Amino acid sequence: MELWTALVLGFIGSFHCVGMCGPIAMSIPRASNSFLGLTGTALIYNSGRILTYSVFGLIFGFLGTGITIGGFQGMLSIILGASIIIGVIFNKFFKKTAAGILQKPTAWVTSMYGKMLRKEAKLTLFGLGVLNGLLPCAFVYSGLAAAVLTTSPIHSASYMALFGLGTFPAMFFMYLSPNILSQDLRQMIRDLIPYFAFTLGIVLMLRGLILFDLYVPDALTERVSSFCVFPGTSMD
């Protein structure tokens, strides 16, 4: 995917983050109530979270590079797109089952989070952010699915770094003022997020069909090309 889409995807997903990770982020220590003090704390904390996303992007980028060399990116694109769509549908109709699957890894991260909260150090803030980035999150997985479809691990890491940066504004303002977004507005946006994820899945599947040289209407091909990176093209 083109790098600019990472910021958009991250920003849209940030409202999901506010609902899922917001309460955890609100628990981080407040050494100062001044704007500069809170900003510094938020920057350190979110830098750890963005680093985690970037490392995941780098790892998955190497996977994507190997698949590109093997000539299987078209199939991977279709599989990832279909996985996102199936995930959206599964979560819609089997929400309790989906929550149960993620319960153990979530419990481990929150347990480690609680232990680190008892320590007092700026490095701890960074570590808390790293742990936040490890929390199971369907929207982060969607970002990784988009990031892996590239011919460069650096591009993939950059994609996830920008994805994390896109989530920063909502998380930052929620930390400064928890009531800045009403519950109704947050819920409305969270209700729209599955539709964005579903659309991303469709785009990735269309990308795969284009790579297989299967017929896709020209209008759709042009639109997909404006969002996606294809092997052998510039990724600037």
**DSSP string of the chain, one letter each residue:** --HHHHHHHHHHHHHHHHHHTHHHHHTS--S--SHHHHHHHHHHHHHHHHHHHHHHHHHHHHHHHHHHHHT-HHHHHHHHHHHHHHHHHHHHH-HHHHHHHTHHHHHHHHHHHHHHHTS--HHHHHHHHHHHHHS--HHHHHHHHHHHSSS-HHHHHHHHHHHHHHHHHHHHHHHH-TTSS-HHHHHHHHHHHHHHHHHHHHHHHHHHHHHTT----HHHHHHHHHH---TTS---
pLDDT per residue over 100-124, tens digit each?
666 677 777 777 777 777 666 556 8
Q: What whole-number distance in Å separates Cα of residue 233 and Cα of residue 1?
A: 11
Q: How far is CA 50 from CA 56, 59, 109, in A?
A: 10, 14, 16
- Say which range, 38-42, 82-86, 211-215, has the weakest mean pLDDT: 211-215
165 against 72, higher pLDDT? 165
What percentage of the chain has pLDDT greater than the value 70? 77
Q: What whole-number distance in Å separates Cα of residue 153 and Cα of residue 59?
A: 7
Average pLDDT of the residues in 70-74: 71
- pLDDT confidence of residue 160: 93
- pLDDT confidence of residue 134: 85
Average pLDDT of the residues in 129-155: 82
pTM of the model: 0.77
In this predicted structure, the answer to whether residue 55 has a pLDDT above a threshold of 50 is yes
- pLDDT confidence of residue 230: 63
DSSP 118: T
Average pLDDT of the residues in 15-29: 64
In this predicted structure, the answer to whether residue 16 has a pLDDT above a threshold of 80 is no
In the numeric block, which tokens belong to residue 94?
């089997």
Angle at 230 between CA 227 and CA 232, to 5 degrees: 140
Average pLDDT of the residues in 66-85: 79
Average pLDDT of the residues in 164-173: 86
- pLDDT confidence of residue 56: 93
Average pLDDT of the residues in 215-228: 74
215: phi then psi, degrees, rounded to nearest 5 = -70, 125
In this predicted structure, the answer to whether residue 47 has a pLDDT above a threshold of 90 is yes
Instruction: For residue 41, give the 3-state DSSP assignment.
Output: helix
In this predicted structure, the answer to whether residue 235 has a pLDDT above a threshold of 50 is no
pLDDT per residue over 148-168, tens digit each?
877 688 989 999 999 999 988
The band of 189, judged by pLDDT with boundaries at 50, 70 and 90, is confident
In the numeric block, which tokens belong to residue 159?
């994609």
In this predicted structure, the answer to whether residue 234 has a pLDDT above a threshold of 50 is no
Q: What whole-number distance in Å separates Cα of residue 187 and Cα of residue 209?
A: 35
pLDDT per residue over 26-37, tens digit each?
667 666 678 888
